[in-house]
Structure 1
Amino acid sequence: MNIRKIVTYVEVTTAEGGRPVDPAARIAVVAAVIDNPWAGQGFVQDLGPGIDATASDLGKLLAPEVLEALGEPAEAYGKAAIVGLDGEVEHGSALIHTLKFGNHFREAANATTLLPAVEKRGGVGAVFDIPLKHITDATIRSHHQTVEMRVADAPHPDEIVIALAAASRGRPQQRLADLSTEQ
C-alpha cells in the first residue's frame, strides 16, 4: 500500500438553530490518499489479492486515527471511497466493503452495526458526503447525519481516497421522534 498523504478534518458545532449546543457536537474525518492497487491493469476480475494486500492495513491505520481526532467516544460512524478517474467504483468498494477493513473501526469504536458508506469516482478535489449512523443501533434517527469533505489535490487518476468518519453524538438540536413511534 502506497500512501501519498493523510488528511484529518475536525468539525466542532457549538450552536445550531440559534441555540447553544452543549456539549458541542464533534465530527472527525481521516482520509488516506493511496495508490489504486489495480491501476494500470485493465479490467481485473479477481480483486481479492488487492483487497488482501491493502484493506486490513488501511483499516488498522485509519480507525485509531479518526477516534483520536474525535477526542471522545464515537456514537456514530461511516466510511467513504473516491476512486480516481482511471479506476472503477468497484475498486473503492472492494477496499471498504470488506470486514478486513471495517472490523478495525467497529472494534476500536466498540460498535456492532454495519458502517454506512458512500463510494464514487471523481476527479481531483471531488466532494463526498459521508453518511453516519449510530454505532450500535442503525435505527436511532438522531445519529443519521452526513459530513462533507474533500481533499484538494486528490484523487489523482490512479489513486483512491479512503476515509473514515466519527461523531461524538447525534445531530445538534435533533427532535425527531424515535422510529418506534411510527411502528
Structure 2
Amino acid sequence: MAARTAVDDSYQVRRWVGMVEETTHENGPKAGEPLFKAACGVVVKNPFAGGYVQDLSALTDPSAALGTELGRRAVALLGGREVQSYGKGGIAGVNGEQEHVVACITTTFGNALREAVGGGAAWISSATKTASAGTPLDIPLAFKDEIYVRSHYDAVTLTVSDAPRPDELLICVAVATGGRVHHRVGGLSAAETRVAART
C-alpha cells in the first residue's frame, strides 16, 4: 500500500476505476483458455489546467507510484493470471492539454508499471488525448517482451462517464493474458520470442 499512499501524497485523487472482460470466442471455435483483458485508471486533479506551464515535473517526478499502483490493480483484476501484454494512456480534461497526460506516463511511470506486472522488455504502447468527460479511450496492447508479436496487437476500451472533468486527468493502464482469441495472420509468435530469449 506504499504506492497508494505515495499517490495520495502527490496527486489529488477523486476516483479509481477498473474493468475486466473475458472472451471465450469471436465467432469461431471456443478458445482453450479464455482471454482476459483488464483496464484500470485513476482520476486526479490537473494542477496545470487553464494555463500553459513549461515545467511539468510535478506530474512526472512522482509518477512511479502511479505506475506501481495501477499495475498492482490491473494484475489483481486478472485474478492472478500471467500478464502477457500491456499498454498505457490517458485523457486530459478540456481545460488541460495532452502533454499533461504524457507527463504522467513517461519512462518513470513505465518502468514502475513493468515491475508491477511481472516484467517486460518491450516499450509500452500508449494513447493520449484531450477530451470531455465520458469520452472512450482505446488503450493499445502489445506483447510485453517483444513489440513485433502480431498476435498480441489489441486494445482495451475504457470509458468513465464523469471523467475527466475539465480540470482533471484520467491516467490508465491495460493488461491482457494473451493474444487475440482467433489470431491467425502469422508473424513472430510469443513462444518464439521466449525461446530466443533463453538461447
Q: Could you state the TM-score of these two structures normalised by the residue count of structure 1?
A: 0.92
Larger mean CA deviation between 9-18 and 151-160 belongs to 9-18
Name 1:60's counterpart in structure 2: 68
Name 2:158's counterpart in structure 1: 149
After the TM superposition, which segments of 4 or more aligned residues of structure 1 sit over 4 Å from their partners? none
Q: 1:33 aligns with which of 30, 35, 43?
A: 43
User: Displacement of 1:39 after TM fit?
Assistant: 2.4
Question: Match of 1:8, SS?
Answer: strand
Q: 1:130 aligns with which of 113, 134, 139?
A: 139
RMSD over aligned CA atoms reads 1.3
Structure 1 CA distance for aligned equivalents of residues 18 and 31 of structure 2: 23
User: Displacement of 1:167 after TM fit?
Assistant: 0.3
Question: Match of 1:10, SS?
Answer: strand
Residues 9-48 of structure 1 aligned to structure 2 (within 5 Å) = 9-40=19-50, 42-48=51-57
Name 1:90's counterpart in structure 2: 99
Residues 93-172 of structure 1 aligned to structure 2 (within 5 Å) = 93-96=102-105, 98-109=106-117, 110-172=119-181
Q: Could you state the TM-score of these two structures normalised by the residue count of structure 2?
A: 0.85
User: Displacement of 1:70 after TM fit?
Assistant: 1.4
Question: Match of 1:15, SS?
Answer: coil
Name 1:5's counterpart in structure 2: 15
How many residue pairs end up in the alignment?
A: 177
User: Displacement of 1:102 after TM fit?
Assistant: 0.8
Structure 2 CA distance for aligned equivalents of residues 34 and 162 of structure 1: 8
Unaligned runs of 5+ in 2: 1-10, 190-199
User: Displacement of 1:147 after TM fit?
Assistant: 1.2
Give the structure with the higher percent strand: 1
User: Displacement of 1:58 after TM fit?
Assistant: 1.2
